[in-house]
Chain A
Amino acid sequence: MIPLALFVVLGPVAGFLLLAGLPVLRRSGLAAGVVSSAVALATLVAAIVLLVGVEPGAAPVIAQIDWLPHQGEAFARLGVRVDGTSAVMGAVVALIASAVQVYSLGYMASEGRPSIGRYFAWQSLFLFSMQTLVFAPDLLQAFLGWELVGLCSYLLIGFYYQKPSAAKAAVKAFWVTKFADMGLLTGLVLMRWQVGSFAWEAVQPGWTATAIALLVFLGAMGKSAQFPLHVWLPDAMEGPTPVSALLHAATMVAAGVYLVVRTWPLFEASGVALHVVAWVGAITVVVAGLTAMVQDDIKKVLAYSTCSQLGYMVAALGAGSPVAGLFHLTNHAFFKALLFLAAGAAIHAVHSNSIWEMGGLWRSLKGASLLFLVGAAALIGLPGFSGFFSKDFALEALAESHLWGPFALALGGVALTGFYVGRVVVVAFFRRPAKERGRLHTPLVMTVPMTVLAVLAVVGGLLGGPIAGWLGGAYHFHVTPEGLTATVLALGGLGLATWIYGYEGGRRLVVLAAPAGAFIRSGLLDRFYETAWRQGLLVVAHAAGWFDRYVVDGVMNLVAWSVLEGSERTRRIQTGRIPDYVLAVVVAFVVLAAWGAVSGMSGCGSTP
């Protein structure tokens, strides 16, 4: 079991080192991609074998070496921890990464050869980093993986670094998540200081548990794009679409959710933290869902949708159900990766991100359209599709824990989901196209991974039982009032969107219901939100700027002045004359000897 886990973690790093260390291979273009994808597929096989081998409810198997020994217990360790949670997440990550890498062989084929090599090198590094985080036996190693995936995210968002917007987006993502990571790091230090361990299970009840849990959650909010730290995710869409699918939809952004699942004892010990988690998740569901309704860029719709769906996972955690969180994480990984890849196929064919420039894709791009529709159905949560089961389970958890506020928000979010998905589907796939185009083509190497994901997006609901088993919980599907309500709401949202964007009458409704329609269409909400955020940020920035200019700079200038002044003086002491130097030695000796004599006198007569 341990060798398998080690292979899952370390296999990709071998791929990365091959690509990074052999310039011939890296510059060979697709050959680099084939190597990287082959490694990813091999780790996928290993991860699945590993997952199947994990007995539900079995104790975790841990293998670790001392990384930094210390007197007594080691200060830091490295290793792997295999249990239900890590095995499930590891398999999901390996699966999505393999699918995305194979898909990229087709999607990236038109890039320059060195770019392809670079792309796959980062992909391998990402997979290694993510698995380091997933299989981490303690919080410290997880933090290392966490920072490494952040680095990979930065590199991959900025993949088209010649494009200023991509470079800017990469930097923005980096800073926002780094800000959140400061919280996580503080939590780590606090944990070591107060609890004396980095172990996942390390808890000390009381204020420390709450403080550490909230700090860890701050880190999770950054990575998992939770309100109000979600602003980096839409910009991150500047990266290549497969990257968006892997990092910014399925795996990396889910790392925050995973982190909370892992540090579960900490959150369980703190009721306050759980409430905060539930509310943040639910608010994100609605805010991101509303914003998704007015986006024109298909990737941005999906990006806000990702925030919103992550909100469900986070809210489920807040409701005290890590099983629901991880269940929805798994299903979301399947269908959202599928949606991104299918959207990528559409973008690839149409050469535009705008849904208004697509139109009629159902006719011209049958295969990818069908796949997108499957993903859309799962996302909305149509009965029978995977999202239906996991989203209902999350809602059920919220209801059961009597968190009615977050529950209401999450339920409202279902209608929003139905609406924005319906809007994209109708406008991009069924509306009459702006200009006629012939049949478009998607390469087989792109279709196959999407098909695999599509199958999983359909049957993902069946995974509820096994996942619950691996996590030591229980899941049985049953019809609930909240589930029925959610389905009705989703269909309502979908129907409304279809009517508004698909039929003349609907469009008239928009005209009639001018205030609401215009409000949504104009993107005012989005702008209002952006402005509020920016203004808020400006106030903070001004305050920080003032503090920086007058306090920090003042102190720094004083320090710098005194240091430079001091340096000049010491330079003058450094005369270069030997007699001066010898004199200094003698004087120093005399002073030290006097000190010694005095301290010797003070302890005079005593023998140790």
Chain B
Amino acid sequence: MTALLPLLLPLLVLGVILLVLVADLLLPATDRRAVGILAAAGVAGTLAASLAISPSGEAFGGSYVMDELTLYLDRVFLAAAVLGILAAIDHADRHFPTRQGEYYLLLLASLAGMLVLAGARDLVLLVVAFETAGMPLYLLAALPKSPDGRSTEAALKYYFVGAASTAIALYGLSLLYGAAGTTRIAALGAAPVSPLLFVGVMATFAGMAFKIGLVPFHFWVPDTYEGASTPFVAFLSVAPKAAGYAALLRILHGGLLDHHALWLPPLLVLSAASMILGNVIAIPQGNVKRLLAGSGIAQVGTMLLAFAVGTAEGVAMLLFYLAAYVFTNMGAFVVQSVMGEHAASDDMQAYRGLARTAPGLALAMLLFLLSLAGIPFMAGFWAKLQVFIAVWHAHQAALVILAAVLAVMALFYYLRVARAMYIEPPPEGAVAPVVARPTRVALIACVLGTVGLGVFPEPFVRSALDAAALFLGQ
């Protein structure tokens, strides 16, 4: 039994999956709302367990490790899953009441894959975990089937681009194996420098960059966000990004840090491209989901900056950024799910005068927007500031300046939503949108996270620093 202890968290999630499966079978087809609550409670319990345990070593003969980094990332995934499930409960119950069990099963399966992925130290396990995490997402993007076929289109776009990217990633991983002669990531660095190795690195990176949504692998992002159901997009916009970075951290920092000078330049180029293009996509948007999609591309570009510099400080700040991003970005999408449901459209016009009709909801959205923009005393402020500091220390001042200028530009489109809420009057006869109880819980958690990390970032920064330092052995 103790041999399985490092796998406690994925195993707990498997347990939740079984519970959800049984509950889905037992409950009458007319009333299965409880399934979602069960799933949320189960994952919340797992999250609580993850906060109680400490790193417990290796499993599968060293292919998997539960170290500080795994634990930190697992907590991020679990938090994102709890929020994602809570936000989906009302939506699922309303739009596909009989099939809601499937929704949670798929989401939990993806979660289990992510939990294993975070600790993968072997290319084979990494691929298996990566695909376990990724496959269910394609299906989830298609749920519920919308009458105009938009969700199907969103899912198909995601799937085809994803298939191409996965193929490239697998090709890259096979090249890495070919160059190093081993699937153990730690041994990759010992391989002699060769074009083979680096084509492999770049191809692997390209595959992961699709999951993260980096330019130029981002084309699916706005289309899929727009078409898929918003509560799912909340999860999609956060957890797979963290998973992509987890895989990249394991491969590039865990195995190929010695060749850092060789993979740094292309990553910096992609980071700059993502930050620029993401903002450019977001600026003219009237559709809030597409706006958030553009903003998300820019945000992951900023994270790539922290990732690329290859220092423990950079890794730590990437980890902190991910935690801040979970609460902030999911919060914004959860508000959007409420507003989209209320107005039956994702247009920004729906936000007009929200501060007067629903001050609480408007305030929550304002906090998320300010955090995304990096305004002081929101989680996103410390995240951005610390990434900038880390990148500055790594002597990439030009990119810090670019990122800072773009962050100021980004204020423009974030504040457009705020303007609609606070300055424009509500339309005639506007009523407050209904916020279901589980959604409300998710929103409160997001607000607490966004403000909490903003006012007192210490514990999170501390554990991120510890995780990064131990991971890189610095």
Contacts and interface: CB of A to CB of B under 8 A. Distances in A.
A68 B191 CA distance: 39
A551 interface: no
B284 A596 contact: no
Interface in A547-584: 563-564, 566-568, 570-571, 573-574, 576, 578, 580-582, 584
A69 B283 CA distance: 34
B428 interface: no
B12 interface: no
Contacts of A595: 202, 265-266
A589 B203 contact: yes
B196 interface: yes
Contacts of B382: 68
B409 A592 contact: no
Interface stretch (B88-96, B112-120, B217-225, B238-246): B217-225
Given A69-B462, A586-B164, A604-B194, A567 B201 contact: no
Given A566-B280, A570-B280, A607-B192, A585 B165 contact: yes
Contact of A66 (B164, B193, B277, B462): B462
Contacts of A69: 458, 461-462, 465
Interface of B: 156-157, 160-161, 164-165, 168, 189-203, 205-206, 210, 216-217, 219-220, 222-223, 258-259, 262-263, 265-266, 277, 279-281, 283-284, 312-313, 316, 382, 386, 389, 409, 456-458, 461-462, 465, 469
A140 to B, nearest CB: 12
A444 interface: no
Given A589-B203, A600-B193, A607-B193, 8 more contacts: A70-B389, A570-B281, A581-B219, A585-B165, A585-B210, A598-B195, A599-B263, A603-B262
Given A574-B281, A604-B193, A71 B157 contact: no
A600 B198 contact: yes
A600 B194 CA distance: 5
A110 interface: no
Contacts of B266: 592, 595-596
B283 A567 contact: yes
Given A71-B313, A592-B203, A606 B193 contact: yes
A566 B276 CA distance: 10
Contacts of A65: 458
Contact of B157 (A581, A593, A601, A604): A581
A582 B465 contact: no
B284 A568 contact: yes
Contact of B219 (A584, A597, A603): A584
Given A66-B462, A600-B199, A606-B193, A567 B312 contact: no
Contacts of B216: 584-585, 587-588
A578 B156 contact: yes
27 contacts: A67-B458, A68-B458, A68-B461, A69-B461, A69-B462, A70-B389, A71-B313, A71-B465, A75-B389, A563-B280, A567-B280, A567-B283, A573-B219, A574-B222, A574-B281, A580-B219, A582-B160, A584-B219, A585-B216, A585-B217, A589-B168, A596-B200, A596-B203, A600-B197, A603-B259, A604-B193, A608-B190
Contact of B161 (A581, A597, A605): A581
Nearest to B163: A582
A578 B283 contact: no
Interface of A: 65-71, 75, 563-564, 566-568, 570-571, 573-574, 576, 578, 580-582, 584-589, 592-593, 595-601, 603-608
B217 A606 contact: no
Contacts of A589: 168, 202-203, 206
Contact of B202 (A582, A593, A606): A593
A563 to B, nearest CB: 6
Contacts of A599: 198, 262-263, 265
Contact of A585 (B168, B191, B262, B462): B168
Contacts of A580: 219
A582 B216 CA distance: 11
A606 B206 CA distance: 25
Contacts of A71: 312-313, 316, 465, 469
B195 A605 contact: no
Given A68-B461, A596-B266, A597-B198, A605 B192 contact: yes
Interface centre among A564, A573, A603, by most chain B C-beta atoms within 10 angstroms, is A603
A70 B386 CA distance: 9
A566 to B, nearest CB: 5
Contacts of A601: 194-195
Contacts of A567: 280-281, 283-284
Interface centre among A75, A574, A596, by most chain B C-beta atoms within 10 angstroms, is A596
B201 A570 contact: no
Contact of A578 (B160, B201, B312): B160
Given A585-B161, A608-B189, A597 B199 contact: yes
A75 B317 CA distance: 13
B262 A600 contact: yes
A596 B458 contact: no
A578 B219 CA distance: 9
A18 to B, nearest CB: 19
Given A578-B160, A585-B164, A600-B198, A592 B205 contact: yes
A563 B465 contact: no
A344 B173 CA distance: 79
A605 B193 CA distance: 6
Given A67-B457, A585-B210, A608-B189, A596 B202 contact: yes
A27 to B, nearest CB: 17
Contact of A596 (B156, B195, B219, B220): B195
A576 B283 CA distance: 19
A480 B241 CA distance: 75
Contacts of A586: 164, 168
A26 to B, nearest CB: 16
Contacts of B199: 593, 596-597, 600
A569 to B, nearest CB: 9
Given A71-B465, A589-B203, A578 B258 contact: no
Nearest to B405: A559
Given A69-B465, A584-B216, A596-B201, A564 B283 contact: yes
Nearest to B276: A566
Contacts of A75: 389
Given A68-B458, A585-B168, A604 B195 contact: yes
Contacts of B456: 67
Contacts of A605: 192-194
A570 B280 CA distance: 8
Contact of B198 (A70, A563, A596, A608): A596
Contacts of B265: 595, 599
B42 to A, nearest CB: 33
A13 B389 CA distance: 32
A605 B262 CA distance: 14
A392 B242 CA distance: 67
Q: Which 6 A-B pairs have the closest CB atoms?
A: A600-B198, A596-B202, A596-B198, A608-B258, A603-B193, A600-B195
Contacts of B156: 578
Given A66-B458, A69-B461, A585-B161, A564 B284 contact: yes
Contacts of B192: 604-607
Contacts of A574: 219, 222-223, 281
A170 to B, nearest CB: 19
A582 to B, nearest CB: 5
A69 B458 CA distance: 6
Nearest to A71: B313
Interface centre among B194, B202, B277, B283, by most chain A C-beta atoms within 10 angstroms, is B202
Contacts of B284: 564, 567-568, 571
B447 to A, nearest CB: 15
A66 B456 CA distance: 9
Contacts of B219: 573-574, 580-581, 584-585
A581 B277 contact: no
A598 B195 CA distance: 7
